[in-house]
Amino acid sequence: MVSTVIFLGYGIHTLFLGGMVADFERFGLRRIRRLTGALELLGAFGLIAGMFVPVLVVPSAAALAMLMLSGLAARIRARDAFVESLPALALVVLNLFVVTCALGVLGAV
């Protein structure tokens, strides 16, 4: 649920409010800001749908983990401080934890 709320917020902020424009320009990724916001929202909606169709949790959380791994790589490439990169790292770990738990619940582990 935490990941869902965070990515709903980030997705709306990135896609509709343009709050991340400066960061995406600084990373040299201006052209994919809207795509990133849409993917964040799609992942959050996938996690919500996963409450009703549990098999959707694994691909949704895995995709969000990969998205944030890419965000972490962008921050490392931009030489951001560790503290600035920590939220992206935490979201990678959180979503990988969700994947692991969902696989356990689904009996795939």
Counting DSSP H helices and E strands in the chain, the numbers are: 5, 0
Q: Which two tokens stand for residue 99?
A: 């994947």
The per-residue pLDDT for 108 is 61
Q: pTM score, two decimals?
A: 0.89
The Cα-based distances of 50 to 23, 42, 93, 98 in angstroms read 31, 12, 19, 11
Non-local (6+) Cβ contacts of 2 within 8 A are 94
Kindly report, residue by residue over 28-78, the tens digit of the pLDDT: 999 999 999 999 999 999 999 999 999 999 999 999 999 999 999 999 999
Dist. CA 50–CA 33, nearest whole Å: 26
Kindly report, residue by residue over 67-107, the tens digit of the pLDDT: 999 999 999 999 999 999 999 999 999 999 999 999 988 77
**Contact present, 64 and 43 (Cβ < 8 Å):** yes
Q: Parse the chain into domains and list their residue ranges.
A: 2-106
